[in-house]
Amino acid sequence: MGAGHAHRLYRHGTTPVHALPPHCKLAAVLCFVVAVVSTPREAVWAFALYAALLAGVAAVARISPGFLLKRLVIEVPFVAFALLMPFVVPGEQTELLGVSVSVPGLWGAWNVLAKGTLGVAASVLLASTTELRSLLLGLQRLRLPPLLVQIASFMIRYGDVIGDELRRMSIARRSRGFEARGVRHWGVLAKTAGALFIRSYERGERVHLAMVSRGYTGTMPVIDEVTATRTQWAHAAALPVLALVVCLLGWTV
Amino acid sequence: MSLPTAPAPSLEVSGLAYAYPDGHQALFGVDLTVARGERVALLGPNGAGKTTLVLHLNGILDAGAGTVRVAGLPVEKKNLAEIRRRVGIVFQDPDDQLFMPTVREDVAFGPAAAGLRGPELERRVTTALERVGMAEYAARPPHHLSFGQRRRVAVATVLAMEPEILVLDEPSSNLDPASRRELADILRSLDVTVLMVTHDLPYALELCPRAVVLSDGVIAADDRTQDLLCDEALMREHRLELPFGFDPRSVSVPRP
Amino acid sequence: MHVPDGFIDAPVSAAAGVVAAGAVAVGLRGARRELDQRTAPLAGLVAAFIFAVQMLNFPVAAGTSGHLLGGALAAILVGPYTGVLCIAVVLLMQGILFADGGLTALGVNITVMGVVTTVVAYLLFRGLTRVLPRTRRSTTAAAFVAALVSVPAAALAFTLIYAIGGTTDVPLGKVLTAMVGVHVLIGIGEAAITALTVGAVIAVRPDLVHGARGTGAPLKLRIDGELVDAPAATPSPAPVAARSTRTVWAAGLAAALVLAGFVSFYASANPDGLEKVAADQGIDEKAQEHGAADSPLADYGVRNITDARLSGGLAGVIGVGATVVVGSGVFWAVRSRRTSEGSDARTTTGSV
């Protein structure tokens, strides 16, 4: 499920978007996506405006359109879903390029494609302008339970380490002439997974020992905190507020 | 005019015995005293109980019998916070020890856990990083550093707590010769008491004037490092071997 | 299987968000009860393991390969609470860091892929191991069955969520058959990998498998030269939570009721997808067969959202607003509880 999606999206930069505090950006993007999702699908012009808004943010953040488009490739599975809809949904039929499709199906496909794509684009913009550590601090500031944020922090810190161990185990396995080619080889692969679990768990115990040795008593000491000024909140709010206006117009116009 | 009293020894272990929960006894009465400012190497074959002994020094393991005192303070449940500040253990795998997203936060973890904040905390972090020569890497994530650099940062995480005694578990393992030398220079420059668990006998000779051998759960020898390494019978008895071509007699060790 | 934004409408996404938040809160409490101080590093490392093992290729045939989802594996290896927590963290980070799955769909994704798989797998596993003889073989068999059922169960949960809040109107029967059918196949793969992995861990460190507690060979004592069975060790009493979980549950339940009210109001205002299915099923039999035969993926259709747009929209906004308020209320309640727990004197059995 996660295959191929482990590429970090962060792109270093010193633009105003990069400089915004992370919790402002998180809140802004979330509200933006909520506005997009709440817009009626018939207001096609609204989605064009949303795309323009995101393009504006991307321009300020100096994120190249090529990069953004490349990342939209993640969408491919549900684009496939969407393309099937006009053929499968029952309802009033119409002709499109000589093929008989249903109108509700077309609307459904449009709905899913537009909102899904905008959602991914907004997420990508967020992740590419915010450092990992900042994102976690931002989540904590937004009142996510500190324990949850710590677990996420450890997961990210040791994600690469565990990934490297898995890679080394795979190399060792292949160096001994074993090439997994089919279901009959799953036993060996599962042994690798099992060994990886044991190593990961034991490492977790050792990390705990190291933490205890430096005075850990159950709660992580607060080392950094993120704060935001009114102006920064105002700047971050620009995107979702404009989106909200478009959304309301979409319902009333 | 009264004479100034000598400072309490950094470490005083007496009669330490310990058995694992599964029944296997690892330590059978260890006696070890390390004075302030000394550098002592802890040698011994694999399985002798060296790491087990080390884990008693900051109270991670509870002694079945015997006592451990750090600068006069006994290792007991009520003193654990202070003990863990005084005893700085650097474990073998720096990845286990560098668990925060950046170097700075890792070094700050210990003092922050003790309650430090703000500019005071910043100063501690910067000082510790400067002592190991890693000050310009403060904002880096640990996996962007080389193994030797991670070792050094691990030392800094412990130095930041301004410990009484620095306990190192195999500090030179997996280091390339240049990194070994850099670490040796750093350890020599520190004015903290050092207890070094190691298999690297030349390293022990280079850095530690005194060495003790832990074998079969007791201290089997306690002598000047060079004398110990030249005692072939003793070395053979406890499975200690010198690297190929290394003659301890030929090395001129500065007298302490 | 990550659901993107726009698939599920706003009120149901919000309701799913509340469910997910509640489940995570319960997971946090349970994990802390079981792991105490070690929760953060252990859960973090297990989450990193799950994240890494999800990328392991299990070749099926001719270039295709399967991947592990991990819900059942997590539940069996580290227990239901830590398991839910780990998968939730993985999904959360995938959504925020890698744009994998919509931000508004996080609730749905965590509920379907995190909570349902883990809980179903754990309940089945626990039930089976109680009934079967206490051997390692039965543990692996139980793991197989638990994982096998967990995947279609998740598909079923998704179909249910889709039935209430899908933004498209594909007949429910089609969705059900496609989703559950395909996921039974996926479940077989997941079951095989899970069972084999659990077996591999048990072979080396059975003490690390939460679900296999008590399946080791009994200890023997040597008394007067004879080998005697050691008396069963009395399990150390689990530390009692300082505060009851009742208030958290009450808050979650109240939130669920409030949102369910809004959701059902919204749903009843429009012709139900299920009714539409019943009406159309007979008429469009042929067209539907064609669709179901082709797509390995679920089909989605459009519900007629032409009437009561304003009321629907308002309900959506209110629903989302309510979620935010209630969600942060739940978090705040758990958080303030924890900080006061932290300041209480801790009684520990060891020095760690």
Token duo for residue A196: 């990886």
On whether the CB atoms of residues B64 and B39 are closer than 8 A, the answer is no
pLDDT of residue C166: 82
| Structural domain of B45 | 11-236
- For residues C327 and C105, give the distance between their C-alpha atoms in angstroms, rounded to a whole number: 15
Q: Is residue B15, in this structure, part of any structural domain at all?
A: yes
CATH code assigned at B231? 3.40.50.300
For chain A of 253 residues, list the mean pLDDT of each consecutive stretch of 10: 55 86 92 90 88 90 86 76 77 77 83 89 91 88 91 92 92 84 84 93 93 87 81 88 87 81
C3 to chain A: closest CA residue: A78
* C contacts of A201 (beta carbons < 8 Å): 42, 45-46, 49, 205, 208
Q: Is residue C130, in this structure, part of any structural domain at all?
A: yes
Token duo for residue C50: 């799950």
Q: Is the pLDDT score of C268 beyond 50?
A: no
List the beta strands (DSSP E) in chain A: 93-96, 99-102
Token duo for residue B28: 């059978």
End-to-end CA, chain A: 41
Domain ranges of chain A: 16-139+228-252, 145-213
B118 to chain A: closest CA residue: A223
On whether the CB atoms of residues B163 and B192 are closer than 8 A, the answer is yes
List the beta strands (DSSP E) in A21-82: none
Q: Does A221 touch chain B (CB under 8 A)?
A: yes
Those residues of chain C whose CB sits closer than 8 Å to some CB in chain B are 41, 350-352
CATH code assigned at C115? 1.10.1760.20
pLDDT of residue C224: 66
* C contacts of A50 (beta carbons < 8 Å): none
Q: Does A199 touch chain B (CB under 8 A)?
A: no
* A contacts of C352 (beta carbons < 8 Å): 208-209, 212
Min Cα separation A35/chain C (Å): 9
- pLDDT classification of C254: cutoffs 50, 70, 90: low
Which three-class secondary structure state does DSSP give residue B194? strand
Q: What share of chain B is helix, strand, coil (3-state, %, to 5)?
A: 40, 25, 40
For chain B of 256 residues, list the mean pLDDT of each consecutive stretch of 10: 74 91 86 94 88 91 89 90 92 92 92 90 94 92 91 94 93 91 91 93 93 91 92 90 88 70
Higher-confidence residue of B14 and C235: namely: B14
Q: Is residue B121, in this structure, part of any structural domain at all?
A: yes
Crossing angle of helices C71-78/C80-98, nearest 10°?
A: 140
Q: What is the DSSP letter of B89?
A: E
- For residues B237 and B234, give the distance between their C-alpha atoms in angstroms, rounded to a whole number: 5
Q: Does B249 touch chain C (CB under 8 A)?
A: no
Distances (CA, A) of A252 to A31, A45, A115, A249: 20, 13, 19, 5
What lies within 8 Å, CB to CB, of A211 at 6+ separation is: B99, B109, C41
Record the pTM. 0.79
Distances (CA, A) of B43 to A144, B208, C28, C334: 48, 11, 44, 49
Per-residue pLDDT reduced to its tens digit, C19-76: 999 999 999 999 999 888 889 999 999 999 999 999 888 888 777 778 888 999 999 9
| Structural domain of C15 | 10-216+263-343
Q: What is the DSSP letter of C233?
A: P
- For residues C161 and C159, give the distance between their C-alpha atoms in angstroms, rounded to a whole number: 5
- Selected for mutation to probe chain B from C219, C347, C348, C352 (highest B CB count within 10 Å) is C352
Q: Is the pLDDT score of C249 beyond 80?
A: no
Computed over every residue of chain C, the mean pLDDT equals: 72
pLDDT of residue A198: 93
Distances (CA, A) of C222 to B19, B24, C228: 18, 15, 6
Q: Which of C182, C13, C8, C150 is nearest to C84 (CA)?
A: C150
Q: Tokens 């991307």 identify what position?
A: A58
**DSSP state letters, C298-351:** ---------SSHHHHHHHHHHHHHHHHHHHHHHHHHHHHHHHHHHHSPPP-SS-
Higher-confidence residue of A155 and C335: namely: A155
- For residues C105 and C4, give the distance between their C-alpha atoms in angstroms, rounded to a whole number: 6
Query: Parallel, antiparallel, or unpaired: how do β-strands B193-197 and B39-43 relate?
Result: parallel
pLDDT of residue B162: 92
- pLDDT classification of C119: cutoffs 50, 70, 90: very high
- Complex prediction ipTM: 0.90
Q: Is residue B158, in this structure, part of any structural domain at all?
A: yes
pLDDT of residue B88: 93
pLDDT of residue C255: 55
- For residues C277 and C247, give the distance between their C-alpha atoms in angstroms, rounded to a whole number: 41
**DSSP state letters, C180-220:** HHHHHHHHHHHHHHHHHHHHHHHHH-GGG-GGGTT-SPPPE
On whether the CB atoms of residues C6 and A78 are closer than 8 A, the answer is no
- Rounded percentage of chain C residues whose pLDDT exceeds 90: 31
CB contact under 8 A, B62 and C351: yes
B75 to chain C: closest CA residue: C351
Q: Is residue B252, in this structure, part of any structural domain at all?
A: no
Q: Does B58 touch chain C (CB under 8 A)?
A: no
Which three-class secondary structure state does DSSP give residue A132? helix
When divided into structural domains, chain C yields a total of: 1
CB contact under 8 A, C41 and B80: no
When divided into structural domains, chain B yields a total of: 1
Distances (CA, A) of B228 to B13, B143, B220: 21, 39, 11
Which chains have 3+ CB pairs within 8 A of A? B, C
Q: What average pLDDT score do residues C222-235 get?
A: 61
Q: Is the pLDDT score of C81 beyond 80?
A: yes
Q: Is residue B230, in this structure, part of any structural domain at all?
A: yes
Min Cα separation A182/chain C (Å): 5
Q: Is residue B249, in this structure, part of any structural domain at all?
A: no
Which three-class secondary structure state does DSSP give residue A89? coil
- pLDDT classification of C216: cutoffs 50, 70, 90: low
Q: Is residue C258, in this structure, part of any structural domain at all?
A: no
Min Cα separation B15/chain A (Å): 23
Q: Is residue B2, in this structure, part of any structural domain at all?
A: no
* Sign of the alpha-carbon torsion through B16, B22, B23, B26: negative
On whether the CB atoms of residues A220 and B99 are closer than 8 A, the answer is no
Q: How far is CA C54 from the centre of its chain?
A: 16
Q: Does B99 touch chain C (CB under 8 A)?
A: yes
